[in-house]
Structure 1
Amino acid sequence: MFLLEPVGLGQRDNDVYLALLELRRATAGQLAEHVGEPLPEVRAALADLVGAGLVHQLGHAPASYLVVAPDEALAALIQRRRGDLARMQVRVEELARRLRSGAPRPGSAVELVEGEDAVIASVTRLQAQAREEVLAVDAPPYLGGQWNPNDFEITQLASGVEYRFVYSADSLSTPLHVANMRRCVAAGEQARVLPDASMKMVIVDRSTALMPASYREPDAAVRLLVRESALIDVLVCCFEAMWARATPVAAVDPVDGAPERSPGRSGLSARDGELLALLSAGMKDRSIARALGVTERTVGRRVTELMAELGAQSRFQAGLLAARKGWI
């Protein structure tokens, strides 16, 4: 059975997807053993499936992979290719019934979503349903206890869906997360940093949202799925208020070895641009150092140098002057 050919995926991707559908969750090594294929080929297939929104990656060392319910993950692709995918949709619905055991879908305005698998399926389904925009606040806690990349966003950005993200200081605590943010910004994401942002949420087309069931004691595996209601309007207002307070993140060229210099920026490097953006957002030296993968002493020394170059008397003034000069 070659289920995924109509959406541009190959036989290898198809075999790995069906194997993961059977196992529900597995590492790349477990999948390679299950399908009898070399580990590098299985990893390449998993990368394709994650990028297509069919599989979700949890963790990094080692990563485990979770299959997303077929009728949820493939809905957007099916809609774009309705004519060619008519036979595929029948098969997808069969697989979905097997995976979800025919469980009915509640239709209330606010629905409780419990469990990692259910939350992941909801996040993927919401993104796949997006036609215009996705608004999100990125803050812990994260599923599996650690942040995971959202490769499906790149696919949606390429299809014309607008993404606006507000990142908290805790969500940019590692170079890996900062690098992913930069990758998404380069692909078209509009990103801003607000250190104290804690109201984790995802809002799709201003009609559906996913949010923690509690902000006092948030649990990553317990969410509220909110459909069109007055609560959606309140959440959009909260997001826009945070967006207005947050500091924009500009797209910068990647740093390969020696810092690249940008014309008209008085020798400012891409890394300096990142540092100034995080500094102007109110992040402390320790948090900036973790995000950039350098020592706190290095950050402090470079901040002092940039303040002298800008003629600033304080860190806050340095952020203002850098923004005025177009450096950030």
Structure 2
Amino acid sequence: MKTIGEASTSAEVRAEAALTAVAEWTGKQIGFASASPGIASPSHRGVDSEAWLVAVDQSSPAYFLKIVSADQKAFVDLGAVFDAASVAAELGCAPSPRHLARDAGAIVFDLLPPGWKTARMDDLRRTEIMEQVIALKKAIHGSRPFALSWTVFDRIRVLDNACKAAGVDRPDDLWWMLDGVGEIERAITAAGYDARPSHADGLASNVMISQDGAVQLVDFDEARNVDPLYEIGILLNEAFPFEEEMRPALEMFEGSFRQASLDRCRVYAVADDLMWGLWGMLMNSTSARGDIEFLKYAQWRLLRCRMALRHPDFELKLRRL
């Protein structure tokens, strides 16, 4: 673990700048070490930021420093992230954010104690884990509204325009996928929904599990006021390959199974796949981080989007919303 003044790489210099920006730590002995690097495939984890373990006046780390990567700053509002994570922490759903270093593009969080691990998709399939994840997300849905609101369709338009501006090589059938997701947006808008404050992240890697099976949520970069069924839809899309497996989890969320809710979850998942496919294509063309498999991730998400749009029940799902 290095201390302030020992940085030898550009990443370590950024970490030092973020840590020295914390006024409460002035004059204290600060140590820092790199946490796990980000990967996009086969597991999407830590791609949005540089992560550091931080110790203050002690040998073992007690804090987690997150510095938003330069290629993600356009998509992350640090103030909104800090606010949403604070609300979740007050509810007991997430580690507490402690310091916002806006100029350094960083937030310092409490570090979960030793023994906590990053969830995998097979962890989410365990009933006792899924129950807890859904309970935490529902708790956040009942909190005060967050600062920002958006829909997955808003983000698709932003990313599509960014891809065009960057001259990204687009799949020949992208227009068809955009048209199909446009049908989804029109159907959901016509059916209506109530936006609620949400973690709005379905990735297994943003769920943490302790040795005794407790659960916490991390990474509030996507937290917004959204349709709660969008949040549940992308969670189910991450955890289960088949709709029959999704039914019990949806029953946990709503108290009883409703076909219209499952249909909404499924079509939201289609839109989410397109969104992340566009993001992966954009990052592949514009990010300086050539060691991350952005294109592979984009191709996987776009493949799943295509499969869902071509499914014989796609139009039926829209009519049942």
Shared fold per TM-score greater than 0.5: no
Higher relative contact order (CA 8 A, sep 6+): 2
TM-score, normalised with respect to structure 2: 0.28
TM-score (norm 1): 0.27
